[in-house]
């Protein structure tokens, strides 16, 4: 009996159908095929192991980080939140779309109606080992966490964001709420899990 793997058309189709049922993306398949992930899953496939999903719980009730030069104005406590990327969505208001800019004072009530996340989620993403969870569609955007509001030294209100560069690197910043926000300045809001 040969141990060399030969994948016929039927088996390739079975894999394709399994990936579709599990809602895999081409990027998921590429990542699965790289490195040794397949060898790590082989014991599970053969019934000799179990998959244990690591749970990341974020304390959204904790006092948020306050950058130097800012003071905390408001922070919506949101409990202990188990990280689920399906529950994290980007929101862009109608006034921000199609090349339009929307003033933050007009944008804020619209974002508030969408259940925005607070800055504790932003700070969780900034931890080096959590940056792998930053979605690829955040690249090239300043992504805002409107449920925490700060005040600068001159009295202006501001909201913090994470900017994700095209190479996936990220940094934290803030914008004055009096500024204008475009479609590349979305808010992070609670979405429904599938």
pLDDT tens per residue, range 38-89: 888 888 888 888 887 778 999 999 999 999 999 999 999 999 999 999 999 9
pTM: 0.75
Beta bridge partners of 70: 152
Going from the C-alpha of 49 to that of each of 39, 45, 90, 149, the distances in angstroms are 12, 8, 37, 46
Classify residue 84 as left (phi > 0), alpha (psi -120 to 50) or beta. Answer: beta
Q: What is the pLDDT of residue 193?
A: 45
Q: What is the pLDDT of residue 119?
A: 98
pLDDT tens per residue, range 167-185: 878 999 999 999 999 999 9
Rg (CA), the chain: 21
Q: Which of 108, 110, 90, 78 is nearest to 191 (CA)?
A: 90
């Amino acid at each position: 009996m040969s141990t060399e793997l030969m994948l016929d058309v039927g088996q390739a189709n079975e894999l394709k159908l399994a990936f579709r049922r599990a809602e895999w993306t081409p990027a998921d398949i590429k990542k699965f095929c790289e490195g040794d992930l397949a060898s790590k899953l082989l014991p599970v496939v053969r019934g000799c192991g179990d998959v244990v999903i690591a749970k990341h719980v974020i304390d959204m009730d904790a006092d948020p980080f306050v950058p130097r030069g800012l003071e905390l104005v408001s922070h919506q406590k949101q409990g202990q939140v188990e990280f689920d990327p399906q529950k994290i969505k980007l929101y862009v208001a109608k006034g921000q779309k199609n090349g339009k800019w929307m003033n933050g004072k007009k944008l804020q009530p619209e974002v508030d109606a969408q259940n925005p996340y607070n800055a504790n989620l932003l700070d969780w993403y900034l931890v080096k080992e959590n940056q792998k969870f930053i979605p690829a569609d955040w690249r090239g955007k300043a992504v805002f966490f409107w449920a925490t509001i700060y005040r600068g030294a001159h009295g202006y209100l501001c909201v913090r964001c994470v900017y994700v560069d095209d190479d996936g690197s990220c940094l934290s910043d803030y914008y004055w709420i009096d500024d204008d926000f475009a479609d590349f300045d979305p808010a992070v809001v609670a979405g429904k899990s599938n």
